[in-house]
Amino acid sequence: MKAIYPQMEQHVVVTIMGAVAAELQSIGHRPNFFYLQHAMGLASSMGLGIALSRPELTVIVLDGDGSLLMNLGGLTTLARYRPKNLVHVVFDNESLLSVGGFPTATSTGSDLAAMAAAAGVPRTETVVTLDEFQRAFNDATGAKDLSTIVAKVEAVGPSGYVTDLSLLENRYQFQRYLRDKQQPLSK
Amino acid sequence: MPVSTSSSRLIYDSLKAAGVRLMSALPETWLVHLIRMAEEDPEVQLIRLAKEEEGVGISAGAHLAGVRSAMLMQNHGFLASVNGIVSCAQLYRIPLLMLISHRGEFGERDPWQTEGGGVTTHVLDALRIPHALLDSPDHVAKRIQKAQTLAHSASRPVALLLARDLMWEE
């Protein structure tokens, strides 16, 4: 995540709960980052809502294998509307880490990138190394088309998941960021 | 198919008057005209869903991005969306305008709709979601406007139940 942080700083980021949210906050929270701390599966749907509402912005969704498995149908909706300004990253640690590390179906062979491709997502890739991930992410943000990147990662995370950023503080700060982007204060 | 075109038009125009520019929907018989109207309207983005719960996330994203939205779904779709409503829309205080076709009430001929019909308002009450019935053209415009006003002032989901008397001509 550190590898792509410099680019995420410039874009709108929507994450899932758990390790992804906690780690991104530990690297550095920004007002253009929103962490959906529950409602598993809906981070990609929120990203779609933002991307279609604000085509001038680039939206990065940081998803996980457990979350995406709860909203596989959402892949077909993403592909159907194919927002050119959305990059869908799936950190696949093959487990539900924050609730005890129980293995998900990707640990027994379910292939999320293949599912995204079969759903109609035009650009899909599975990456294993950090270099590959960084290259795939750069390609995706430059491609101006919907991409799903599945990044295979180790099932390690922080010791706790509650941070000192309250959910509603994050929500209103993020909304204000998007509003100010729309109506710049400078004349 | 005796779904009321005039009632659908009235509902659609009222949604637009309430500022709605994005509608997510999963087809159901009573909603066919509404969905077609959204599809043909260049001012409205229609998002066809695979499952209704996605619509909660899409509406939440649209709201934070400054676009007013509505969800069009059957009451069974509402029941399928409950976790999203609770842990996205309610947890994050998202105004969410839900138009729910109230199948399974008096006059329902499809046996498979009847269980959902009996629990819908109870589930809405359990979730503390304010709801009103749209059962006559007389109050459609006003109730949609008022529902939208409350959704935004309370920053919470609200529901309008589309009744058979309004939607079905027989």
d(CA B124, CA B120): 6
- Residue-level pLDDT at A183: 66
| Percent above pLDDT 70 for chain B | 99
Q: CB distance from A178 to chain B under 8 Å?
A: yes
- CA dist A159 to A18, A97, A148, A162, B104, Å? 11, 11, 28, 10, 48
Q: What is the enclosing helix (H) or strand (E) of A78?
A: helix A72-81
d(CA A184, CA A181): 6
pLDDT-based confidence at residue A20 (cuts at 50, 70, 90):
very high
CB contact under 8 A, B57 and A44: yes
Mean pLDDT over all residues of chain B?
Answer: 97
Q: CB distance from A36 to chain B under 8 Å?
A: yes
Amino acid present at A153: V
- Residue-level pLDDT at B152: 98
| Residue A19 backbone zone (phi > 0: left; psi -120 to 50: alpha; other: beta) | alpha
Amino acid present at A91: F
* Nearest CB neighbour to A53, from listed B57, B67, B83: B67
CA closest to B82 among chain A residues: A39
Q: At residue B1, does pLDDT exceed 90?
A: no
Pairing of strands A95-96, A102-103: antiparallel
Look up residue B57 and give its two tokens.
Answer: 């996330």
The residues with which B159 forms a beta bridge, in sequence order, are B98, B131
- Residue-level pLDDT at A57: 97
Mean pLDDT of the region A66-86: 97
- Residue-level pLDDT at A158: 86
Terminal Cα distance for chain B, rounded: 10
The residues with which A88 forms a beta bridge, in sequence order, are A61, A148
DSSP A84: T
Contact B118, B89 (CB under 8 A): no
Residues of B (53-72) whose Cβ lies below 8 Å from A: 53-67, 69
Distance from CA of B64 to the nearest CA of A (A): 5
For residue A115, how many other CB atoms are within 10 A of its CB? 19
Q: At residue A185, does pLDDT exceed 90?
A: no
Distant-in-sequence contacts of B37-42, Cβ < 8 A, 24+ apart: B37/B8, B37/B9, B37/B12, B38/B12, B38/B72, B41/B16
| Percent above pLDDT 90 for chain B | 99
DSSP B168: B
| Percent above pLDDT 90 for chain A | 84
Q: At residue A163, does pLDDT exceed 90?
A: no
- CA dist A4 to A89, B130, B133, Å? 11, 43, 49
Sequential DSSP letters for B42-87: TTSEEEE-SSTHHHHHHHHHHHHTT--EEEEEEHHHHHHTHHHIII
Residue A21 main-chain phi, psi, to 5 deg: -65, -45
- Residue-level pLDDT at B128: 98
Mean pLDDT of the region A12-27: 94
Q: How many CA atoms lie within 13 A of A118 on its CB side?
A: 8
Cα maximum dimension of chain B: 42
- Residue-level pLDDT at A99: 80
* ipTM (interface pTM): 0.95
Contact B34, B25 (CB under 8 A): yes
pLDDT digits (tens, 9 = 90+) for A123-152: 999 999 999 999 999 999 999 999 999 999
Count interface pairs A-B at CB distance under 8 A.
Answer: 109
Q: Which of A184, A172, A168 is nearest to A38 (CA)?
A: A168
pLDDT digits (tens, 9 = 90+) for B131-142: 999 999 999 999
pLDDT digits (tens, 9 = 90+) for B58-86: 999 999 999 999 999 999 999 999 999 99
Q: At residue B154, does pLDDT exceed 90?
A: yes
- CA dist A143 to A15, A32, A77, A129, B21, Å? 21, 21, 20, 21, 28
Q: CB distance from B142 to chain A under 8 Å?
A: no
Q: CB distance from A179 to chain B under 8 Å?
A: yes
Q: At residue A187, does pLDDT exceed 70?
A: no
CB contact under 8 A, A52 and B51: no
Taking the C-alpha atoms of A81, B145, B149 and A74 in order, what is their torsion angle to the nearest 10 degrees?
-20
Q: At residue A186, does pLDDT exceed 80?
A: no
CB contact under 8 A, B65 and A34: no
